[in-house]
Chains A and B, each alone.
Chain A
Amino acid sequence: MDAQSVKIGSADIAVTARADFQKNHQKDLPGDFALWIFIFAEMLVFGVLFVAYAFTRANNVALFNESQLTLSRTSGAINTLVLITSSYFVVRGVDAIKRGLSSQCAHWLTGALLLGGVFISIKIVEFHAKFAAGITMSSNAFYMFYLSLTFFHLMHVLMGMVILASIIVKARRGGYSAQNHTGVETGASFWHMVDFLWIILFPLIYIIR
């Protein structure tokens, strides 16, 4: 065996090993593994922001408690119910496509998409009220965290809605089946991440004092 064939052989082994590694690490997670890397990265970013909020508050407890009282707990709670329900709709959509029911899948996902729209509408009303009261990110440390965290999360809701919309279009065209629905599971995983991040954000910013 010459040196070149040994080199090619070891390259083949490396490619096979990488493929095996990817296969083993992909088979369990619902959806595309690449999106899961993104999900874990987003969780890390939000986690750092949540902890930064909590430690900043530790040095400004009175200011944070006083500012927190100006937030609408009702709209925060309604938005939590809206996102939880939309996540449930997404679960039903994934279940439908696993049974090969494309049209039913599209219906459930459309319901989730509409609830995403409700979430955004409520958030816009909430932001408008704050801006009308002269509150901005530079008002104080609490409002800086409140506006930046909720806006950052809102951008993820928007991104999730774009993903859901593209899945709905493809599902309506019969692009998914009981055997091939990785795209649906991928979009669903992202939407559930948006949901559980809000589930932490809501009590942290609106309730706990």
Chain B
Amino acid sequence: MNKAKPQSNLFSTVIWLILIALTVATFSIGEVGLSGKSTMLTLLAIAMIKSQMVANYLMALRQTRLLWRGIMFGYFVIVGGLIAIAYLMGQA
């Protein structure tokens, strides 16, 4: 059981609203039909930031030991990085 201090409901609500706003931003970029290197990197960065927010604040990994946060952060960096490399190869 996680003995970390529970975060306040207001904090969770703010995180939820930020996640909603970032989803709307992602959808809007898709609707406008933007493409290209910078758009791809922006969308990928938004996705990784959102996922990291879910892990840190909703999953409550923020207060766990560095090992677990490191595994989660490393996962998003490696997966996001490899996807970005593949997309850049496709645009070359």
The interface of chain A, by Cβ under 8 A from chain B, is: 27-31, 40, 43, 47, 50-51, 54-55, 57-59, 61, 65, 73-74, 77, 80-81, 84-85, 87-88, 90-92, 94-95, 98, 180-182, 185, 188-189, 192-193, 195-196, 199-200, 202-204, 206-209
The interface of chain B, by Cβ under 8 A from chain A, is: 1-4, 6, 9, 12-13, 15-16, 19-20, 23-24, 26-27, 29-31, 35, 39-40, 43-44, 46-48, 50-51, 54-55, 58-61, 63-65, 68, 71, 75, 78-79, 82-83, 86-87, 89-91
Measured CA separation A204–B38 after assembly (Å): 15
Known A28-B2, A31-B2, A195-B58: A57·B86 in contact at CB below 8 Å: yes
Contact B79 A192, beta carbon cutoff 8 Å:
no
> Please, which residues of chain A bring their CB within 8 A of the CB of B83?
50-51, 54, 204
Contact B75 A207, beta carbon cutoff 8 Å:
no
Known A58-B86, A195-B58: A203·B79 in contact at CB below 8 Å: no
Question: What's the A-B contact tally at a CB cutoff of 8 Å?
Answer: 138
Q: List 6 A-B contacts (CB under 8 A).
A: A57-B87, A73-B31, A80-B26, A81-B23, A91-B58, A195-B54
Contact A28 B26, beta carbon cutoff 8 Å:
no
Label chain B's interface by main secondary structure.
helix
> Please, which residues of chain B bring their CB within 8 A of the CB of A40?
71
> Please, which residues of chain B bring their CB within 8 A of the CB of A203?
26, 30, 43-44, 46-47
Contact A204 B47, beta carbon cutoff 8 Å:
yes
Contact B26 A207, beta carbon cutoff 8 Å:
yes
> Please, which residues of chain B bring their CB within 8 A of the CB of A59?
90
